[in-house]
Amino acid sequence: MFMTETPEPPAVRLTGLTKSFGANRVVQPLDLDIRRNEFFSILGPSGCGKTTLMRMITGFETPTGGSVELDGQNVDKVPTKSRDLNMLFQSYALFPHLSVYENVAFELRVRRTPKGEIDTRVKEALELVRLGAFAARKPAELSGGQRQRVALARAVVGRPAVVLLDEPLGALDQKLRKEMQFELKRMQREVGITFIYMTHDQEEALTMSDRIAVMSEGRVLQVASPTEIYDEPASRFVATFIGSCNVLDGVIDAHGRSVVVPGVGELPAAVPADARPGTGVTLAIRPERVRMAAAGTSVPPVGAVPGTLEERVFLGDEWTFHVRLASGGVMTVSVPSGEEAASLGAIPNGGAVVLSWLPASARVLPAEAVAA
């Protein structure tokens, strides 16, 4: 046996994994390591290939190329039923003819676990999801949130190494969704199982994940922690898909210190040291990092950008302002509700404003970073 530097192999390792349906390649060859006990989200719009990716990990789909390793073992030839992972289906796929108890016990019975142990473990799993009192009910007699918990109990009762969750909160209403986000995170910590969570909802991914993989058109664009993904998006797609983001196209100025946007001028930006003057880039600035003031009222730091306030939208916890720039583009500025927002209320629609931001808040991304 060889000793490698990392004694523990990753929970899931994908190597050059790819899938085509006919001429249509839905998952481009990708490499990905998912660590043990990690809450790992795969985030992307519908049709980005995440469902196919997940179905290749479970073994429901045969990859066109590449391989899947679970806990260091290649499982390309291992059928779904023998892979040490379970899935929580978007539809929950609870067996409608079985009680909650029997649904959870299904795997243990199929795998011929001793009777006494089945009872202990089913009760344990139902306690985990706080449904101990509902053991005798049929799935049809439960609410959506309860069904979801049963599905989760059923997925973890066999103590698999990995649980894959396919948009499990999609069918729930907004309030229940928020509650379940925290619940899922709590349960994942309690059971110590690697969770791979598929979602198209960036908020869900940011709230729960240890790491996020952003997918688009069959490619993984970035794998990083939620804060990194949000603060340091690697591409224009990631910047605009996660949260809202202002993007401006421009070029690196002659000194390699700022970005020149046609029609607007020289803008402060976090230009990388190795950036070459004249290179076309995309500037990405989060709306909450932009400060707005009435024209002439204050002397902003470097590179104030003039504009016209076009519209304001009240969202409860914050105000969003739309500002038209001289170039014709629109920038969004968000300000939390409070004194500052109240003082900005004095600016009439159509009034002249200046926008400013710290250079560090404006991220310089390669132009046309969107996957072709």
The residues that touch another protein, with contacts defined as CB under 8 A, are 58, 60, 80-82, 85-87, 89-97, 106-107, 110-111, 138-141, 147, 154, 158
Cβ 183 to another protein shortest distance, Å: 20
**SS3 call for 55:** helix
Closest approach of another protein to the CB of residue 319, in Å? 42
Q: C-beta of 43: minimal distance to another protein in Å?
A: 22
Q: Which is nearer to another protein, 95 or 182 (CB)?
A: 95
Minimal distance in Å, beta carbon 137 to another protein? 10
CA-CA distance, 95 to 101, in Å (whole number)?
11
Q: Between 85 and 354, name the residue whose CB sits nearer to another protein.
A: 85
Q: Which is nearer to another protein, 154 or 286 (CB)?
A: 154
Closest by Cα among 169, 203, 208 to 185: 208
Q: 92 or 241, CB closer to another protein?
A: 92
Closest approach of another protein to the CB of residue 86, in Å: 6
| Residue nearer to another protein on the CB measure, 92 or 237 | 92
How far apart, in whole angstroms, are the C-alpha atoms of residue 62 and residue 28? 14
Which candidate, 209, 192, 186, 196, places its Cα nearest to that of 164?
A: 196
Backbone angles phi, psi at 339, to 5 degrees: -60, -45
